[in-house]
Amino acid sequence: MNNENKIIIFDTTLRDGEQCPGASLNIKEKLEIAKQLAILGVDIIEAGFPVSSPGDFESVKTVARNVKGPIICGLARALEKDIDASYGAVKFSDRPRIHIFLATSKIHMKYKLKKAEDEILRLAVAAVKYAKSKVSDVEFSPEDASRTEPAFLHKVVEAVIAAGASTVNIPDTVGYSTPFEFADIISGIKKNVPNIDKCVISVHCHNDLGLGVSNSLAAILNGARQVECTMNGLGERAGNASLEEIVMAIKTRNDIFKGMCTGVNTKEIYKSSRLVSKLTGMPVQPNKAIIGANAFAHESGIHQDGVLKKRITYEIMRPEDVGFEESKIVLGKHSGRHAFDSRLKNLGLHLKQSDLNKAFEKFKVLADKKKEIFDEDLEAIIDEEISKVPEKVHLIHFHTASGDRVKPTAVLTIRYNGKVLDASSTGDGPVDACYKAIDKITGISGKLMDYQIRSVTRGKDALGEVSVKVESKGKIFSGRGASTDIIEASIKAYVNAINKRAIAG
């Protein structure tokens, strides 16, 4: 691999990512994440901002002592006390780096620093020289570079390289830039800074306009060779450019990023994402690119059919390549017959065409009631609708009313021996009232001996299964019924038992 084509991944999850409100990490958690980032294969870990607190200093020092492989970096303002603190923490690493930042935009210089350009230039050069006396690897960031006057930005970059910076990072600190504009900033630096070939150009893009990844990729195409990013896009405000999106964009669209690659082991992406989410307490949105729960999930019947026939029809990446086990075919109201039949076969349920048609119809009815159909739902459908006894009694409609000041009442419409009949009854509860109404219609007196209910699937809209045992004429008949409505499941279970009684005579 040509070194020019290696994109250096600078992970700042432990520093900028931790600045996300509510994402604070203790030393043990930071170390656990850092070790996983090393397994992931990132080139640089920015472990924290050592001068900011004693805890952050200890965290960076602990990571520097215990994590081998990546460069371990500490952030510092252009102040000697910051640089001293950063050095004191990262010096325990085999590969230490000090990362200095100083604002260069007119907005920041006027309102935050209250300093003129000449003073900023002097401070930047002095800070880099001081850091260079501590470590050989120094990075400099002109903060708010995307809103800095180009001529002044070029002047600062040239000066800090001459002072010893081996990496110059161009931050879009407030997520203000757009891809075409940011591409021009990077290409402008390449053209107008005479000593730019002596350092690596890095970028650090925030996501305030949702363009963090796009701006980073535009920069790569225009000469940047280091990208600063975080797992899951964590970071202050709207977050940072997402590590997983940048890495997979380069890998998936190598026709555009010709010959470029990273050192990341992409099969560790999902594991790394889940660890960061768990320890920071920041959940990953389901539709998050690459690592969201729905990233490789398909519910549309057209998409499911395509994926089952040839994966690349609707998947541009293999889920295994980022650490997922497999694509997820989500069964719901948009699913088609192909996906339904495929899932049944995976469950070992091979149905003849007529039974498959019946089961599919029942599946569609259930799918209108539930957001997602689970394997247990399918097994319940097959058990109830395909393996059921012949029906002499069939529920058409039911209505119940009950409350703490209302006598439970049920009105049922049932087809019995080919005739549609209605009956109403009261009872100790809505289920009892329904059972008494069924007895009125059929004339079959059944004594309820056992009644059990359980949830057979997950979620608030879980499918409930009711099992009953009914005594009639000295014999016990069992029945089962399933529905998202527990009253309906209870009626179906009783009807199932009564059908068995009717057949027995």
- Catalogue all structural domains in the chain, each as residue range(s) with its CATH number: 7-280 (3.20.20.70), 297-386 (no CATH), 393-504 (3.30.160.270)
Q: What is the pLDDT of residue 332?
A: 59
Q: What is the pLDDT of residue 299?
A: 47
Q: What are the 10-residue block averages of pLDDT along the chain, 505 residues in total? A: 82 90 86 97 97 95 98 98 98 98 91 88 97 98 96 98 98 96 98 97 97 98 98 94 97 94 95 91 86 62 54 68 63 66 68 77 73 66 61 91 92 93 94 95 88 72 80 82 89 88 72
Q: What is the pLDDT of residue 315?
A: 63
Q: How many residues does the chain have?
A: 505
The answer to whether the Cα torsion of 213, 215, 220, 224 is positive or negative is negative
Each residue of 466-494: b (16+ CB within 10 Å) or e? Answer: bbbbbbbeeeebebbbbbbebbbbbbbbb
Q: What is the pLDDT of residue 314?
A: 54
Q: What is the pLDDT of residue 36?
A: 96
CB atoms within 10 A of CB 138: 27
What's this model's pTM, rounded to 2 decimal places? 0.69
Please, what's the largest Cα pairwise distance for the chain? 103
Q: Using the structure block, give the residue that is written with the tokens 């065409």.
A: 353
Q: What is the pLDDT of residue 115?
A: 84
Q: What is the pLDDT of residue 307?
A: 45
Q: What is the pLDDT of residue 303?
A: 52
Host H or E run for residue 318: none
Return phi, psi of residue 409, to 5°: -130, 145
